[in-house]
Structure 1
């Protein structure tokens, strides 16, 4: 990484930018952010000799171009898509040929109907039109390449592309690799999203009293996110009492009682589309936590602290897995699904496996400066009736890491 990029990351790690436009202070440079991200994508296309990449995933499209529209609808009903080549123009295809909304998009065109919702019984005809558009673009801008990278498409579209004698590869590794290393502007956006999430978490902490339901408590995070310009929340991961074990149960109408643990994972796609992925476990008073609750919490806290401390540029995923915190045997069966994972506009590569999962699901790689990682812990005995979920969000820096999440831990549970 060049020194300027490295220094920018270090400065950005400790800053939360203003969201409203001001002429009196430095702010996030959105054009610079979009330029960086698009060039990261094109760099990966060049490395793989790909003549054209076609994106349909709304998060991939937002990363590459900044374009954002009905994102959740797009996840299950493809209504727009983007053509990107290493050195050619970027086209946005959709319902209309409007003016390009951003400088990253050179032209907007009417697209083919490539979902059943849009094409109905005419899918085969629409797929043929789509393939013809692809061939035309490659002839004009593909620099002689017939290799294309695609995301989610119906079998009808995929068949047409293969029939056209094109080499078709998966676009996901290309985009995921591009997204791994963050710019300073991305870190600033992420810090703003984290600040919004932690404002919501503070409201949840204040409201965590006997009589409130899990859903009522969880709604406070949603409300804060939307009010501050955020997007959505990926899951409904908030549970209380005996529903904290096993982990993964979603918020319900259950009424929270005094003396119970309340655990949650924000999974929040916040302002600027960046994810704030933080987990905390509260103790719902009045009263004091039991010895079992404190022991669970301290183990989870120790796991987070230890696993964070060994992260640095150059360490391999396998090394992290082998040197990770060793949970007592009774908690191994209920372990979280990974030690840590990447983060950006959503959960991203890499996902680093526990030692017990390495053979079945682990893969190696190298931690790099500029990665954002979430360090995970869940501690709850198999067959038990409570558990603790904690998670921190960090930026990998030249000297190790910087903590991005800052919401305090529960003093009563660490006592």
Structure 2
């Protein structure tokens, strides 16, 4: 049998990677020649095309991105992300049609030069923050505005709507009197990022695996007498060792500090018989988020009936609301059909019933009825990743329980991506 005949007879045809398949795969973490890896160029191409589609859908001529998460989503560049979140530095010009142009310092230019998503890299980056420009801030802002106007004239002369992200008051005012309309590109990026490709789900699963490693380390090392920050350090260690980026917050509390929720980890010592609740809020490998919450019991001893009741009620809400995350479901429909806690347990809900996640928390946010003034409607679509939240604690209670799961919306319904188990010892009954 010839090699050609053998190939025709035995070679398996590769099956397309679907969202449903990706949801069940955790990819290998090291480059090898014997296993399939994430198709990163395909993922970058998908994300850039999503951005272009939304630029056109919102009738913009171009957008200028300064948020490091937006830049990374659009083209894949990472350069001192946390620094650039509070100091404007590199920026990215994306027209509806035409070349993608990136301005950055030398480290960013070196990284960008390796990426197929960027057509032109320029070194004539201009200082946009007061830190770098001082009393010449207005002067440099006007020069930058002219630089962007020149790009508009060259690449989108017939559409003068320019979306500019996070440039500050001075940068926006620099366009006054120029032949351009400055608009907010937030809707462009929100609606581009909301639908994930299968490759993005693979990246997210890797981040979740790292987060679950951190949870395991925390659970295995939890002991009376350690501080909350000591326990939280195991999550940070797992993230860094796993190739992750950072953690958005330090939401871990114990005992009486679990009510009210959203108190950050402190030097308080964890005592026997206390609940420990946390929200991992991780930006892990590939820059994707894992937003999962769990509650542990610190021994020795056994959980009280009250602690079990709080935990069981929180888990009931997670499970009920997960089933509501169906493709096509409207935000308002989900809010109306949400799990309603027994009287006295739903008076201090989490700020969001559910929210989107990709490269960190993102659109949309579904609020509880108590925050009706903030409601906006929309509907779930296949490819969205949603975090379902629950916090249960009485108004004058001394304890509370925070739980959260991360799931993927598919054509056939929600698939939970976070596989870390709930605590059997904290359940008051079989549910």
Deviation of residue 315 (structure 1)? Answer: 0.6
| Secondary structure of 1:396 counterpart | strand
What residue is the counterpart of 1:405 in the other structure? 418
Indicate if the aligned counterparts of 1:56 and 1:80 stay in contact, CA closer than 8 A: yes
What residue is the counterpart of 1:274 in the other structure? 288
1:357 to 355, 371, 386: 371
* 1:267-312 deviation line (CA, Å, top 9, x unaligned): 0000000001000000111111111100000000000000001210
Gaps of 5+ in 1: none
Deviation of residue 331 (structure 1)? Answer: 2.3
The verdict on how the C-alpha distance between 1:414 and 1:276 changes in structure 2, with shifts beyond 3 A counting, is same
The verdict on how the C-alpha distance between 1:5 and 1:161 changes in structure 2, with shifts beyond 3 A counting, is farther
Deviation of residue 6 (structure 1)? Answer: 9.4
Equivalent residue runs for 1:366-381 within 5 Å: 366-381=379-394
Cα distance in structure 1, aligned partners of 2:164 and 2:131:
20
Matched, 1:386 2:399: yes
* 1:152-189 deviation line (CA, Å, top 9, x unaligned): 11222101123213111101111011000000000000
Indicate if the aligned counterparts of 1:342 and 1:350 stay in contact, CA closer than 8 A: yes
Which segment drifts farther, 279-288 or 19-28?
19-28
Indicate if the aligned counterparts of 1:5 and 1:183 stay in contact, CA closer than 8 A: no
What residue is the counterpart of 1:87 in the other structure? 97
Output the TM-score relative to the length of structure 1. Answer: 0.97
Equivalent residue runs for 1:254-269 within 5 Å: 254-269=268-283
What residue is the counterpart of 2:49 in the other structure? 39
1:330 to 335, 338, 344: 344
1:189 to 175, 199, 203: 203
Larger Rg: 2
Cα distance in structure 2, aligned partners of 1:48 and 1:143:
17
Cα distance in structure 2, aligned partners of 1:258 and 1:10:
42
Cα distance in structure 1, aligned partners of 2:407 and 2:105:
40
Indicate if the aligned counterparts of 1:162 and 1:168 stay in contact, CA closer than 8 A: no
What residue is the counterpart of 2:72 in the other structure? 62
Output the TM-score relative to the length of structure 2. Answer: 0.93
The verdict on how the C-alpha distance between 1:185 and 1:7 changes in structure 2, with shifts beyond 3 A counting, is closer
What residue is the counterpart of 1:101 in the other structure? 114
1:72 to 82, 85, 89: 82
2:310 to 296, 301, 317: 296
Matched, 1:23 2:9: no
Deviation of residue 356 (structure 1)? Answer: 2.4
What residue is the counterpart of 2:4 in the other structure? none
State the Cα RMSD in Å: 1.5
Deviation of residue 68 (structure 1)? Answer: 0.5
Indicate if the aligned counterparts of 2:330 and 2:378 stay in contact, CA closer than 8 A: yes
